[in-house]
Structure 1
């Protein structure tokens, strides 16, 4: 096979637009491609095999670098109302917020992946995935989603203007109370994850910390979802 034909076919198949981009994808030096192209000789089987081997190694390295990328970790939650007080948001990233918060919101709006909510001690409460929607949208939906498992006994105290009476005069009973994550979570982390790995990474975390999380659904791995094939 002529070198130019191989380079042209690879560039078209891999969707690259420059020699440097193609060299990076293949895991070879730009000089090697230029040398092949200038000489335009038939490539030996050993040269093609070497290129394929380097391409495979480059793909593995690229996958390691790009599969999971942290966006933010243990960011303090300062919940605020969304437009028209419709619901709670994990933090204010609007025009009145500082540049850091605005930038974080924009990054979450552009990403899919995994997010984690933590309590005030930094212990993980809930792990969620964002695949069909962005992390920002999915995380805020989960933030106010009611789950029967999130129940604790609390005493209800009046919030209207009335005289205080100590417990020995008016005893208030603890009652089973359904809470939302917005009542429990103090921090969150978010990770941009390659779309093909989101389900399995969520499954790993939910299954690995099944006794610590509020997640109800026990997620499965791709191998099980595909019937073991």
Structure 2
């Protein structure tokens, strides 16, 4: 009898714990500020696949050619965290770098353990100047073409909306302003209820929806930002 009585109590306890976790997860907070009064437009996107002075951004695709090493010679798309995954040397942070700088990093890493004086060439294959990247707790993360009237709600809708693990009250937008990577947080729930304005989203922006399964995405992106590069109220 005692064992039978414990089962409903245990079940109730698990339900209450689950509700408590859900309530804690679905709230505002974190290091990225909300209600930023001057969330300015990003730097003007370069109109064409650029030259050697172009600084790469998430969503761009580069071509790496390592002379006489076919397994390494291919195209690499920069992920939302600003990295590329290269065989042998692993994840390489390249966002904000030029092609000559990437060449030097890849050459040095290959020289450390694998190749002697490797001949490396890096070129920009596609500059994703007209796409917005939506990542985190959405149903279909990826890079999507932007329109002239793109907003945060529309950007999340392109990724088929938030998933069951999301915290829509904590959505970050990362963009480059005056040469610096910056970020601001938004409450998607308040926006959908008409309690807050729906901010404009620009080509090159990275939108990340917080969620219990995607906290690492937030941490990786925050690590790419200087402390003073967060948007803050003035």
Q: Please indicate the TM-score interval, normalised by the length of the shorter structure.
A: under 0.3
Q: TM-score, normalised by structure 2?
A: 0.26
Q: Which has the higher contact order (CA 8 A, sep 6+)?
A: 2
Q: TM-score, normalised by structure 1?
A: 0.27
Higher strand share: 2
Higher helix share: 1
